[in-house]
Chain A
Amino acid sequence: MIDWSLVAEIAGGGFGVTILALVILCVVAWIVGIIVQKTRAKPVETPEKEK
């Protein structure tokens, strides 16, 4: 006897949660990437040593 509600819950729910989780990871990775790129300190020029 096939339990169709279980099939729907695992296949539909499982795939849905997978997409949702990966979309969230995608958004978080994208936001972190933007923040890091914007806040990355500009390379500081090393002052010339006084002779």
Chain B
Amino acid sequence: MFGLYETAFGALTWGNIVMFLIAGLLIYLGIVKKMEPILLVPIGFGILMVNLPLGGMMIYSPEGFPAEVGSLSELIHAIGNGEIGLLNVLYTYGIESEVIPLLIFLGVGAMTDFRPTIARPVSFLFGATAQLGVFVVFIIAYTSGLFSVNEAACVGIIGGSDGPPTVYLTAALAPKLLGPITLVAYSYMALVPILQPPIIKLLTTKKERAIFMKPQLRQVSKLEEVIFPIMIFVVAALLVPKSVPLIGMFMFGNLLRVTGVTDRLAQAAGGVFIDVLTFLLGLTVGALMPASVFLTGQTLAIVGLAVVAFAFGTAGGIWTAQLVNLFLKEKINPMIGAAGVSAIPMSARVVQRMGQKANPKNFLLMHAMGPNMAGAIATSVVAGILLGMLL
């Protein structure tokens, strides 16, 4: 434009401008509406970084995949020559290698309190059946012809409403869809308070929503708390070997929390450690959304299918709770089944709020936290099962 000097204006496309608007919306939702800010703000900024032409933060191959990063010795040379960008390095060593999602899950484990699940093991059933959305959406996505089998499985796992397993599975099976799937998964988790109430109302009667549950669960001993993560890890690893990385990290993080002698490690894992990993994940996921990759029919389909996944996941949990009630003398409030979709702790809060609205004496939060935690374990198991079947 000015002799040897070149600005980026000439390289801007309409797609880039649409992506700027999407990035602006995400940053606005994160900062102003406080919707998952620790993820949406980095994702939004990552989108800006990759859609500003000639910036070179993330280089793509003509097929739409991030450029391959060679060995460590070639790295500096490749960055200097503009063959790869900084975010290519983060993507390859952090996400493609699965290191970041797994370490984030360790941090999540260190922040998770499993006592409600230990006190009421039937929560596992709600967590399991709330995975219905994953498989229903898998069928719809695959039979629509828009997605391959592997891609359809990754679209389905959004219904598990758990970030790290979603990223882990998608990075392994459909890396090209990692950007839109991660964005939709985290955005919809933030939208749980809007998405779930109408589905819960549709599937339960006012009388069911008003069912009173004693606010206190039984006391859980320290020994049970320590045995739980070890036991869950060993049994899950034997049943679904491919879930070992996810469940292993999740349960190890939790073990650090409950031993009583590794508090410093647990605080580190659930503090700055997870924060740093989360913004690296957000920034890199944002950089996986150049206009040419993101603005496709597949992305629109993912946005729509994710709603279906949440709806069927919520329904699966509620239907199971209603079924269990047929055999119980002291009925449970079927809404707690809806918390099996994970989305910790949003869906449990939704149940608590709706329960109190239906019956002001009700305090369902702790009852709903059990299925909530079980849902996180169930999603990791599902990711392992799908990996075992498709990888």
Real complex partners, A and B? yes
Q: Give the interface of A toward B (CB within 8 A).
A: 2-3, 6-7, 9-11, 13-15, 17-30, 32-33, 36-37, 40
**Main secondary structure on A side of the interface with B:** helix
- Chain B interface size band reads 35 or more
B177 interface contact, C-beta 8 A: no
Partner of B236, one of A21, A26, A32: A21
Contact indicator A24/B239 (Cβ below 8 Å)? yes
Contact indicator B125/A23 (Cβ below 8 Å)? yes
Number of A-B residue pairs, CB cutoff 8 Å, is 98
Closest to A30 in B: B121
Closest to B131 in A: A18
Partner of B121, one of A2, A11, A20, A29: A29
Contact indicator B142/A2 (Cβ below 8 Å)? yes
Closest 10 CB pairs of A and B: A22-B128, A26-B124, A29-B121, A30-B121, A11-B135, A15-B135, A21-B239, A22-B124, A26-B121, A19-B128
Contact indicator A32/B227 (Cβ below 8 Å)? yes
B221 interface contact, C-beta 8 A: yes
Which A residues touch B221, using CB under 8 A? 36-37, 40
Closest to B386 in A: A14
- B221 → A minimal CB distance (Å): 6
A-B contact pairs, 16 of them (CB 8 A): A11-B135, A11-B138, A14-B138, A18-B131, A20-B239, A21-B128, A21-B239, A22-B124, A22-B381, A25-B236, A26-B124, A29-B117, A29-B118, A32-B224, A32-B227, A37-B224
Closest to A40 in B: B221
Closest to B232 in A: A25
Docked Cα-Cα span, A25 to B370, in Å, equals: 14
B377 interface contact, C-beta 8 A: yes
Contact indicator B138/A10 (Cβ below 8 Å)? yes
Partner of A18, one of B122, B153, B224, B378: B378
